[in-house]
Amino acid sequence: MLTRFDDYPIHQTPEPIARPAASDRNVYDRYWLNGYARDGEFYFGIGLGLYPNRGIMDCGFSIVRGGAQHAFHGSRRAPAEPSETAVGPFRIEILEPMRALRVVLDENETGIACDLRFRARTACVEEGRQTLDGPRHVMMEATRFAQFGSWEGRVAYAGQELAIDPTRVLGTKDRSWGIRPVGEPEAGGAPVGAMPQIFFLWAPIHWDDHCTHCGIFEDANGFPWHQDAAIVPAYAAPDAIPGTSDDGIEYWGRVEHRLDYVPGTRRAGAAELCLISKTGERREISLEPLLCFRMKGIGYTHPEWGHGRWQGELAIGGESWKCDELDPLAFENLHVQQVVRARSGEREGVGVLEQLCLGPHAIYGFKGLADGA
């Protein structure tokens, strides 16, 4: 089937753009964004995913503030036109590629709404290819890039109106595509006896004149099978950001980490990261958590609104919960992002530390699926 993009010289295979090169049911293409106050007063997360081989598009918007988290979820049959990035009252508008975008959630029955503009302050950071083989087939084969910026606009929830000031509210845009597990698990075939395992840290940090970015996946023994580290120049306005060939990003080599977990959880009470360049230069960063956001608010590990699950031709829903009433070791609560105060020498910054630790991890002493520290 032809779409508008087929009129551009961008084809990577002989197929039309709307048809993925892979037939894997878990092909996806995703927007993910966050925003947070510099002092940690609030955090919001945004997601929109297209799963072309499942015929589904879904989205989420969620905000945590004042001890409670509020979430909007939406899902629809995937549009025939892949440039249509809207689910019911929710839409993402690309105002200028890799420079600015707008997220709109019109007034709806959940009482959650927003009109937000993201403006970049860095070029895009291309992470290394993320590839993970499963016991029978490829589990993950994905490309990802991140970009730092600020937010302006408004958010409404639970009868409250929150103004978003770009001098106060920073964030990250994340785009990824490829293959990774989504939707309902595959059924049939011989059972796989291995315990599920993932250890993932991701830490984009804003500093005054630059940003740092790092991410790591490790196996159950604590061996890193993927690492990213980068020092990223920051600019005063999107039109000052240079082109991709001269963006000034320094891609470093390795990441070391030490987390002090909150007892009875798999959530950091404090953390130290070290970015290591290819020549051995070290950048030490200490992190102090200020606020915790549950990623289930935008679909990750959500028991009902998980990514790529068929909800019908169009469905929306909303929910809220008190943060201190959640079971921190319940499966759907393990995946978190924390707003963090960052320090590196005399520098002070702010960012997030994303964590998902499922299954055993030898370095931190985890032995079961979700035992606490």
For residue 325, the tally of other CB atoms under 10 A from its CB is 8
What distance in Å separates the CA atoms of residue 60 and residue 57, rounded to the nearest whole number? 11
What distance in Å separates the CA atoms of residue 261 and residue 284, rounded to the nearest whole number? 19
Segment 40-62 mean pLDDT = 98
What distance in Å separates the CA atoms of residue 70 and residue 268, rounded to the nearest whole number? 22
DSSP class per residue in 293-347: EEGGGGTTT-TTT-TT----SEEEEEEEEEGGGS-TTSGGGS-EEEEEEEEETTE
For the chain, the C-alpha Rg in angstroms (whole number) is 20
- Please give the distance of CA 199 from its chain centroid, rounded to a whole number: 15
Lowest model confidence (mean pLDDT) among 6-10, 151-155, 257-261, 336-340 = 6-10
pLDDT for the residue numbered 69: 98
| Of 52, 48, 124, 56, the residue nearest 311 (C-alpha) | 56
Residue 206 CA: distances (Å) to CA of 7, 48, 131, 218, 268? 38, 24, 28, 25, 19
Q: Say if CB 47 and CB 173 are below 8 A apart.
A: no
Residue 243 has pLDDT above 80, yes or no: no
Residue 350 has pLDDT above 70, yes or no: yes
Residue 65 has pLDDT above 70, yes or no: yes
Q: What is the mean pLDDT of the chain?
A: 95
pLDDT for the residue numbered 138: 83
| Of 40, 32, 76, the residue nearest 58 (C-alpha) | 76
Contact residues for 79 (Cβ-Cβ < 8 A; gap 6+): 57, 86
Maximum C-alpha span of the chain: 56
pLDDT for the residue numbered 194: 74
For residue 193, the tally of other CB atoms under 10 A from its CB is 6
pLDDT for the residue numbered 176: 96
What distance in Å separates the CA atoms of residue 259 and residue 311, rounded to the nearest whole number? 38
pLDDT per residue as tens digits for the range 173-217 = 999 999 998 888 777 788 777 778 999 999 999 999 999 999 999
Report residue 244's pLDDT band, with 50, 70 and 90 as the boundaries: low
What distance in Å separates the CA atoms of residue 52 and residue 4, rounded to the nearest whole number? 16
Q: Which contacts (CB < 8 Å, 24+ apart) does range 365-369 have?
A: 366/266, 368/195, 369/195, 369/196
Q: Say if CB 292 and CB 307 are below 8 A apart.
A: no
| 21: helix, strand or coil | coil
Segment 97-121 mean pLDDT = 98
Residue 159 has pLDDT above 90, yes or no: yes
Report residue 245's pLDDT band, with 50, 70 and 90 as the boundaries: low
Residue 57 has pLDDT above 70, yes or no: yes
What distance in Å separates the CA atoms of residue 337 and residue 229, rounded to the nearest whole number? 18
Residue 160 has pLDDT above 80, yes or no: yes
Report residue 134's pLDDT band, with 50, 70 and 90 as the boundaries: confident
Lowest model confidence (mean pLDDT) among 18-22, 48-52, 105-109 = 18-22
Looking at per-residue confidence, does 130 or 294 come out higher?
294
pLDDT per residue as tens digits for the range 305-327 = 999 999 999 999 999 999 999 99
What distance in Å separates the CA atoms of residue 38 and residue 330, rounded to the nearest whole number? 29
Domains in the chain (CATH in brackets) are 25-184+194-358 (2.40.370.10)
pLDDT for the residue numbered 254: 95
pLDDT for the residue numbered 192: 75
Q: Where are the alpha helices (DSSP H) in 68-176?
A: none
pLDDT for the residue numbered 362: 97
Contact residues for 279 (Cβ-Cβ < 8 A; gap 6+): none
Report residue 170's pLDDT band, with 50, 70 and 90 as the boundaries: very high
The backbone torsions φ and ψ at residue 90, rounded to the nearest 5 degrees and listed phi first, read -105, 140
Residue 79 has pLDDT above 90, yes or no: yes
pLDDT for the residue numbered 304: 97
Segment 259-268 mean pLDDT = 98
| 8: helix, strand or coil | coil
pLDDT per residue as tens digits for the range 34-47 = 999 999 999 999 99
Note the pTM of the prediction, 2 decimals: 0.96
- The pairing of strands 113-120 and 138-157 is antiparallel
